[in-house]
A and B are shown apart, each in its own frame.
Chain A
Amino acid sequence: QQPVQSPQAVILREGEDAVINCSSSKALYSVHWYRQKHGEAPVFLMILLKGGEQKGHDKISASFNEKKQQSSLYLTASQLSYSGTYFCGTGFVGDGNKLVFGAGTILRVKS
């Protein structure tokens, strides 16, 4: 039931783009994206609901493909501050606000 995230890790140079994917074997109702910096708590980025909508703010956006049961997080023109581990949390119908988190994708942005 744990969603599968890919890639496991990625290294970028400042200004490069990245895509992080999150796939579920179970029908999704919502996908929540969080970023965690080393030694800190996870911090919310955005929520997507089934319906295929795309959300974003600044240079980070995400999409939700209901048919494929997957979500993708897009980081555009990456900055050093984007470094961290990105987690997707998946929500299912009838489970309230319960989330099942993926194993995470480690993103490192180099200058």
Chain B
Amino acid sequence: DAGVIQSPRHEVTEMGQEVTLRCKPISGHNSLFWYRQTMMRGLELLIYFNNNVPIDDSGMPEDRFSAKMPNASFSTLKIQPSEPRDSAVYFCASSFRYRLDIQYFGAGTRLSVL
């Protein structure tokens, strides 16, 4: 079975540009999570969805970040405009159940904003 699929794997962009990260969760999974990982702040939850509905976006750093889940098989995380401090590895994860379940992580997108 295919796991969580993220694209692109690497993204290099210039400050001020729009960046869109994509995620395809495991088929049949009902919850989707976006994380950001940096050396300084570790693994932070940005937002998570249950049945395509955003449940908690308290981790989204500022209005420049937005996330959507138009259907059960696709989600995007957008940064507009991007800044150098957004450089990080962004992970998407999915789980089958809404509570007490394994989260399966994608391979991540390494974002570098110059």
Query: For chain A, which range describes its interface: under 10, 10 to 19, 20 to 34, or 35 or more residues?
Result: 20 to 34
- Contact indicator A97/B97 (Cβ below 8 Å): yes
Question: What CA separation (Å) do A98 and B45 show in the bound complex?
Answer: 8
**Complex Cα gap A96–B31 (Å):** 10
Closest to B50 in A: A96
Residues of B near A32 (CB, < 8 A) are: 102-103
Residues of A within 8 A of B101 (CB): 47, 97
B106 within 8 Å of A by Cβ?
A: yes
Q: Do residues A41 and B100 form an inter-chain contact, with CB atoms below 8 A?
A: no
Are A96 and B55 in touch, CB under 8 angstroms?
yes
Residues of B contacting A104 with CB < 8 Å? 42-43
Which A residues fall within an 8 A CB radius of B? 2, 30, 32, 40-44, 47, 49, 87, 89, 91, 95-104
Interface residues of B (CB under 8 A from A): 31, 33, 42-45, 48, 50, 55-56, 91, 95, 97-108
**Top-4 shortest CB links A-B:** A41-B105, A101-B43, A44-B102, A103-B42
